[in-house]
Amino acid sequence: MSGSQIFVVVFAAVSIGVSLVARWHVSKISGLKGKPFWIAGSLVGFGGFTTSLSLPGDLYISFGLQIPVVMLLTKASAGTVIKAMFPFIAVVALAKCHWPKITPGI
């Protein structure tokens, strides 16, 4: 495997991990407003990287929306392609769950 392929595979593993951890934390916390939004938003990737597993050395930056955060595609022209997008809403959801509540005026 080339460096770009290893990078995208590690990035994909991190994206899946962040998505799953955010969904788990959001589902366990009580009193969170918009809980279905945060859970669904944790499944959406917004920006990331793409590489072909058949052609080493190709690395593309991807922007857009993607559900799920990682996709494996098989194309006749490019072989097997892995596309990993990072779930930014999942990071915001984790921050919302873990940051202490700040009371104004104290």
- Quote the strand ranges of 1-106, DSSP E: 45-52, 60-66, 70-75, 79-86
Q: Using 50, 70 and 90 to split pLDDT, how confident is the model at 1?
A: confident
Domain-located, residue 32? yes
The pair phi, psi for residue 76, each rounded to 5°, is: -65, -35
Tell me, yes or no, whether 34 lies in a domain. yes
93 pLDDT higher than 70: yes
Q: For residue 103, is it within any domain?
A: no
Domain span at residue 18? 3-98
pLDDT for 106 equals 53
| Maximal C-alpha separation, the chain | 62
Give domain status of residue 105, yes or no: no
Tell whether 104 is covered by a domain: no
**For position 77, what pLDDT does the model report?**
78
Omega cis (within 30) before 68: yes
- Render pLDDT for 38-91 as a digit per residue (tens, 0 to 9): 999 999 999 999 998 888 888 999 999 999 999 999 988 778 999 999 999 999
- In a domain? residue 33: yes
Total tally of structural domains belonging to the chain:
1
